[in-house]
Amino acid sequence: MQSNVKDNVVFASPKSEEERALVAGACVRKLGIKIPAVLDEFGNSTDQAYTGWPDRLYLIDADGRIAYKSKPGPFGFKPEELKAALARVSPLHESTSSN
């Protein structure tokens, strides 16, 4: 993908959990990702369970339920929809989001 080349985040497919973690960490650093990132296990069970491709944003509530699922990204990402979902699941979010 040309944007990966431009951002210098092109890696060979990892062959182990350790390599996968190193690649993921490098991508987070190089892309300046500021939100918490998690790494799926090598069998990709989370990806398969949550339809991780194409990219989607999920908001999981305190009870472990999906409170928001975006349309496929990046064009399906609607920050205002996510903000509204955050406000629904977290009364604190509304008062802190303007800070």
Give the per-residue pLDDT at 42: 86
DSSP 66: E
Q: State the virtual CA torsion across 34, 37, 57, 92 in degrees, nearest 10.
A: -60
Q: Kindly list the domain boundaries of the chain, sorted by start residue.
A: 1-39, 51-99
Q: What is the per-residue pLDDT for 56?
A: 82
Partner residues linked to 68 by β-bridges? 59
Please check the confidence at residue 99 and state whether its pLDDT lies above 80. Answer: no
DSSP 42: T
Q: Are 67 and 59 within 8 A, CB to CB? A: yes
* pLDDT score, position 7: 61
Instruction: For 28-62, write each residue's pLDDT tens digit.
Output: 888 788 888 888 888 888 888 876 567 888 899 98
Average pLDDT, the chain: 81
